[in-house]
Chain A
Amino acid sequence: MPSPRFLLSRRSALRLLATSAVASMTLSGCSTADTSTTVSQPDADLPAAREAIALTRAGIALITATTARHPALRGELASLLAMHHAHLRRLRTLDASGTPATPATKPVPAAADAALTRVRTAESARATRLDALALAAHSGGFARMLGAMAAAVDQHLAVLPR
């Protein structure tokens, strides 16, 4: 049985609607509710933060190796590489302990399109793992950050040439 305290009356539902984000945007010009966040990460999330750092560093290493072998792909992968560096900067604010060794990467395929496919496949797997880490995170803000990182990978993959 639901607690009556939390049941929304029509009046309170309308009040909530009137103060909610998109509704307020459309009802009163563009004054939107604040959805900003401050990310902190409890100790319980430290292993996830470290894994996210490792995933991001692996992404940087793969793109660096790929563009070293295929300089013509630099332009196409520049935005994805910049995204990984932005992610790494944020993640390091959560775990500044040491700098792990650069992850080893497999040899880059000789054909550029095969190399690009490999980046795409690896990034897709990275997004899936970030998604799982977000789901399991103890801190809500950290979960949001990990989810946003997965979403950012999705966005960059959407514009990566096939």
Chain B
Amino acid sequence: MSPVRALQEALAGEHAAVYLFGVLGGQVSRSEQAPLADLISTSYATHIARRDELNDLVSAHHHAPVAAAPAYRIPGDVGTTAGARALALRVEERCLALYGQTVESTTGTDRAWAITALRAGAVDVMSYGARPTDFPGMTWS
């Protein structure tokens, strides 16, 4: 995979993550589920920052950053605490795989960004119930 393609896929993932954490932020009651609401709020801010950084990285290659979709279908029921946590976990795990793919497909500044995102994302995913693994963000073929 080309470096730009990997960055674009990671960026598309961040667009989706920003959208989904935005939706989750509106679903989870801050008064009734303050810890989860805080987590989601932090994740939302984190993915906005990564989206913006990826925009810059793609632009540095003289390519147009991929745009966000107008909307994303929400899989599952996010109206419950368990459903919201499950979706958050799924999004974080998917982003982690994309960071791993970006490490693999890039070099230099782009890879440094991806390694940082991979390491931070590996810890972030545990906030939603994931356990430590031996090779986060990696799927062996």
Chain A contact residues, CB within 8 Å of chain B: 1-3, 6-8, 10, 13-14, 16-18, 20-23, 25-30, 32-39, 79, 82-83, 86-87, 90, 127, 131, 134-135, 140-141, 143-145, 147-152, 154-156, 158-159
Contacts and interface: CB of A to CB of B under 8 A. Distances in A.
Contact of A159 (B106, B118, B126, B135): B126
A26 to B, nearest CB: 4
Contacts of A29: 75
Contacts of B141: 34, 36-38
A49 to B, nearest CB: 15
B8 interface: yes
Contact of B122 (A33, A37, A141, A152): A152
27 contacts: A8-B63, A14-B69, A17-B12, A17-B67, A17-B68, A20-B8, A21-B9, A21-B97, A22-B91, A23-B15, A25-B16, A25-B75, A25-B94, A26-B72, A30-B75, A32-B94, A36-B139, A37-B141, A83-B134, A131-B119, A144-B104, A144-B137, A144-B138, A145-B135, A148-B118, A155-B123, A159-B132
